[in-house]
Amino acid sequence: MKRITVIGSGGSGKSTMAKRLGSILNIDVYHLDALFWKPGWVGTSKEEQRKVQQKLVKQNEWIFDGNYGGTMDIRLNNADTIIFLNISRIICLIRIIKRRIIYRNKTRPDMAQGCEERLDKEFVKWVWNYPKDKKPEILKRLEKEKEEKEIIILSSPKEVEKFLVQLEESIDGN
């Protein structure tokens, strides 16, 4: 477990998971939102996103968190471990609302500077529709990858916590 990508709906806990994994495994974490948004929520081009990721995946160890479907192939093709946070849409919605309250008029630690936390109708709709619109294609892709990569699907906050605790214990025990 040296090249890890964490994917899932908004609010599923990707950034938190990636940070904890980075701490446990002592591996650099790359938050795609921090890499690809500029101040004022100005996005970078797909070409720039691809260029940056193609450079970073050449490293021996890394953890990426984020979806960015147009460039996901770069991370999935180069990962040895793919973690899919298959968290219910209700939990994800509660988390994005909570996040909006906590970071009101502030920038989250896993977000680019100058991108204050926001919550708009399109994002809420994307989170709500994620299980129908995105999850089936992700599961299909993971099925294809399971022979060559470690695929970890965690379906509740309790499963996420259990996985992280077990991982930490296994490393501390060695």
What would the pLDDT profile of 46-102 be if each residue is shown by its tens digit? 899 899 999 999 999 999 999 888 899 999 999 999 999 999 999 999 998 887 787
pTM of the model: 0.91
**Residue 164 pLDDT > 90:** yes
Res 84: pLDDT:
98
Burial class for 36, CB neighbours closer than 10 Å (0-12, 13-18, 19+):
buried
Res 107: pLDDT:
64
CA 90 to the chain's CA centroid: 18
Res 90: pLDDT:
97
> Residue 35's pLDDT band (boundaries 50, 70, 90)?
confident
Contact 124, 55 (CB under 8 A): no
> Residue 174's pLDDT band (boundaries 50, 70, 90)?
low
The whole-number average pLDDT for the span 4-23 is: 96
Res 34: pLDDT:
81
Domains of the chain and CATH, by start: 3-169 (3.40.50.300)
> Residue 38's pLDDT band (boundaries 50, 70, 90)?
confident
Side chain identity, residue 163: F
Res 43: pLDDT:
81
| pLDDT (tens digit per residue) in 94-149 | 998 887 787 776 667 776 676 666 778 998 999 999 999 999 999 999 999 999 99
- Contacts of residues 70-75 at CB distance under 8 Å and 24 or more positions apart, as own/partner, are 70/46, 71/46, 72/5, 72/7, 74/50, 75/5
Average pLDDT, the chain: 90
Res 4: pLDDT:
98
